[in-house]
Chains A and B, each alone.
Chain A
């Protein structure tokens, strides 16, 4: 059983999705139940991974490897380590909560649920894939359902947002395809195995090709993250996507980019990455400051959260770039490990916090006020006490209040990257000030102040919304106070990565 556990986690949602497709029209309730059961089961199976998983093991674990296209050495090869495991569980968790939240979606339910489950398979697949061909297939497959989710169930400008998202990400992924082929043809023996290629370092003695490959990967990952200046698809996609789509987009899909930097760019082309690390770090810091400032100026709550993602993903990239800047400098290995730990922790934290924030926006917009204008509210704290409590908690977590998850991540990133890029880190810290100001101002405008009589009759969180939000709030608090279990898992993988880089 344990042998196939990872494959089961990957493909269970797809199987559930196919079952949903077979359910005849008119039985929407049954479709929802099947989808929820599948997602819940997938979540449990992904938790089950923790059983056989050895915390502290540096190796890839629970590996499965079968020949897929033997003619060119493509394998179905999956495995997880301390980097991918938290992201896999994050994915399965957010999918369950999204399906719970989406219970009231009543337009083309069958397709909606199928696409969601297909998306889950693709995302988990990307995190688990250890073969470039497989990685690329999952990577691309994850784009298509999101196109439909935005395009069919999205807001007023859904068509524009959906095609923009598709085009941007496709540019990146095709550039990555060329980079993969460059690695493949320069390897001896030729292989698409990610671990084998890391071991071989095929482009170590071909700096020009290595640069080409690096920028190919960079384009794919930077668009996905998204790093400034490739971020322009993100506000559109986030604002137009249905609530659950935004949750998955922000919570998981953005992580595919940062995950790619850590899993592939860093160990595959360490020297090249070190060379360009300052460039990447500068772009990251611009993203941090720019994201926070632009978020502050947004009158639309959803757009505000979207831009805060640009800001937070900037922190992650600063941590990754710092680690890359420390390649080949053993005396900085400690700082690099810290920065990477922080970066990965921030990936998880941002997934939880921003996932919650988008659900929060959805709660007020989808079924209550039907407006997202930050200035349209006021005094909601007295009307919706439970909703206000959870919202404030998520926003405080996002701005990095100690005791909540975001603080741990940002603290680690700053401590780590200060040892490598001190000036840039100082600038990045100002981003924290801006985003604190932005969120506090938002809280003030929405929840405090005089009561707006328009919203006096709004109902507070109902049971289903609470079910989708409370777990996220609990996780923010638990890992904010006691981050050790999560950090231990991450640290093992990051420490061994840094050892390789040295």
Chain B
């Protein structure tokens, strides 16, 4: 069976990313140490250019390529944009951190580029084998990045912990997939969908729960969330930002495709299951975030609770508010990256990640502090920020799909969340500064912060262009 040439066109973004990664490997050989930022800028520029072939696919008729193993649809394109764009921002924020802290600076940019490729593959996978391969690809790169500062005790722990937990979760997931294969004799999600409707219910439930374990690990869903705070704390802060946004978004892409395609007509009520997991995840994440004093641990637990909100969007993925899930991901990407970038800046300049160290930031670095306040309010869901519109959409989807109880739990959780987000604002503006003197910010970080801040405000004040984007993206190639 010959491969149609259009199929190659359909994966042009992936080809570009793969080529870019290889090119950077070669480039890194010729760049003298001490000037490795060149590799970073090259990676950022190359990834930005990589958006061109992705955007070139916008509006394409949804279809499968490569013998039904890979999908090109608005949904996949959206997640590729999120993956690549957030990788660019993370690279910008990483340059200042990596310089001088590790002799493997160039390799980090290369790993990030390859991870972006893996995330793109996750977004488009429509076959169990592709799903496993792309998740493993991303995971292997992430393990290395999480433990990048291997001389640091916490960094070391982060890498090892992430690896052990991740390997276990993957194994369980693959076992679940093998049950799916055994039940249906198929690996394509579309073929599984039709074969699954007559399958015995207990086996389907076991397969679903096991698959959820693997993906739940990626998106930090309770009860597979325990690694999150330790890894975020030990990993370089830009990597934590990357894991919390890019990996999580791609995880949700896989989760939604798996549920909405393969389990569409399966004899299990996965909506109730996901709704329950959503309630538990956001509540546990929020309650554990309350006592945190370290900004990275706080953001880790907050990212768990946001996974809960996103699960609400997955459970309510029907009707015209379904795009709320995607809007939330977009808003969360801008906001959470921004919050982490502030943490990067503060961590670099003040040498600590403790929230009390943020005291007086409102006077020492007003612009930085107000940006952080904006991000915290957006994470809480206060207008006029992106986070509010995202939450509005998700609550809307829940109410529309008869999940008012879940929306009510979400409301209670938003109020709990306010307390710890405002804790950061309180430190920055209400506490006197420990020491005077301004806090400087490197240019690349300023750029990244500016983009995320602008995005957070723009998606809150003028949501329509973003709504147009996500409604095009909510076109999921269904069975």
Contact = CB atoms under 8 A, between A and B. Distances in A.
A177 B383 CA distance: 12
Interface in B109-145: none
B418 A167 contact: yes
A354 to B, nearest CB: 27
A170 B384 contact: no
B396 A184 contact: yes
B392 A177 contact: yes
Nearest to B429: A152
B224 interface: no
A141 interface: yes
Interface stretch (B341-349, B440-448, B460-468): B460-468
Contact of B388 (A140, A148, A181, A184): A140
Nearest to B370: A111
B463 A69 contact: yes
A170 B414 contact: yes
Given A69-B467, A185-B399, A159 B426 contact: yes
Contacts of A177: 392, 395, 411
Contact of A163 (B388, B422, B463): B422
Interface string A161-186: 01100110011001101100110110
Given A71-B464, A137-B384, A151-B426, A174 B399 contact: no
A22 interface: no
B22 interface: no
Contact of B422 (A137, A166, A175): A166
A178 B395 contact: yes
A455 interface: no
A143 B392 CA distance: 18
Given A148-B429, A185-B400, A70 B411 contact: no
Contact of A151 (B377, B429, B467): B429
A166 B426 contact: no
Contacts of A182: 399, 404
A133 B383 CA distance: 10
Nearest to A68: B464
B419 A163 contact: yes
B384 A181 contact: no
Contacts of A175: 411
A108 to B, nearest CB: 8
B430 A174 contact: no
A181 B418 contact: no
A185 B380 CA distance: 24
B468 A71 contact: yes
Contacts of B429: 148, 151-152
Contacts of B400: 181, 185
A137 B385 CA distance: 10
B408 interface: yes
A158 interface: yes
Contacts of A72: 320-321, 396, 467
B471 interface: yes
Interface residues of A, number: 35
User: Which of A72, A111, A159 lies at the interface centre, i.e. has the most chain B CB atoms within 10 A of its CB?
Assistant: A72
Interface in B373-404: 377, 380, 382-384, 388, 392, 395-396, 399-400, 404
Contacts of A151: 426, 429-430
B382 A144 contact: yes
A141 B400 CA distance: 26
B407 interface: yes
A136 interface: yes
A143 B414 contact: no
Contacts of A70: 464
Size range of the chain B interface in the assembly: 20 to 34
B384 A69 contact: no
Interface in B312-367: 320-321, 362-363
B469 to A, nearest CB: 11
B463 A136 contact: no
Nearest to B426: A159
A144 B430 CA distance: 14
Contact of A144 (B362, B377, B419): B377
A147 B321 CA distance: 32
A426 to B, nearest CB: 39
B423 to A, nearest CB: 9
Contacts of A71: 320, 464, 467-468, 471
A164 to B, nearest CB: 11
B382 A143 contact: yes
B226 to A, nearest CB: 29
B203 interface: no
Contacts of B384: 137, 141
A137 B383 contact: yes
Contacts of B362: 111
B430 to A, nearest CB: 5
B392 A141 contact: no
Interface string A49-82: 0000000000000000000111110000000000
Contact of B430 (A159, A171, A178, A181): A159
Contacts of B415: 167, 170-171, 174
Contacts of A111: 362
A233 to B, nearest CB: 13
Contacts of B388: 137, 140
Nearest to A182: B399
Contacts of A137: 383-384, 388
A111 B367 CA distance: 12
Contacts of B422: 147, 163, 166
A185 B319 CA distance: 11
Interface in B411-439: 411, 414-415, 418-419, 422, 426, 429-430
Contacts of B321: 72
Interface string A254-268: 000000000000000
B419 A158 contact: no
Contacts of B464: 68-71
Nearest to A176: B411
Contacts of B377: 144
A185 B388 CA distance: 19
A136 B468 CA distance: 22
Contact of B395 (A108, A163, A181, A212): A181
A127 B396 CA distance: 24
B419 A167 contact: yes
A24 B70 CA distance: 56
Given A140-B382, A140-B388, A177-B392, A163 B467 contact: no
B133 to A, nearest CB: 36
Interface in A329-358: none
A291 B400 CA distance: 41
Nearest to A171: B415
Interface in B9-56: none
A14 to B, nearest CB: 11
A137 B404 CA distance: 21
Interface string A115-153: 000000000000000000100110011011001100110
Given A71-B467, A108-B363, 20 more contacts: A71-B468, A72-B320, A72-B396, A72-B467, A111-B362, A137-B384, A141-B384, A147-B422, A148-B429, A151-B426, A159-B426, A159-B430, A162-B430, A166-B418, A167-B419, A171-B411, A171-B415, A174-B415, A178-B407, A182-B399
Interface of B: 320-321, 362-363, 377, 380, 382-384, 388, 392, 395-396, 399-400, 404, 407-408, 411, 414-415, 418-419, 422, 426, 429-430, 463-464, 467-468, 471
19 contacts: A69-B463, A71-B468, A72-B320, A137-B384, A140-B383, A140-B388, A141-B382, A141-B383, A141-B384, A152-B430, A166-B422, A170-B418, A171-B411, A174-B414, A174-B415, A175-B411, A177-B392, A178-B399, A178-B411
Which 8 pairs show the lowest CB-CB distances between chains A and B?
A174-B411, A137-B383, A181-B399, A71-B467, A140-B383, A151-B430, A69-B463, A69-B464
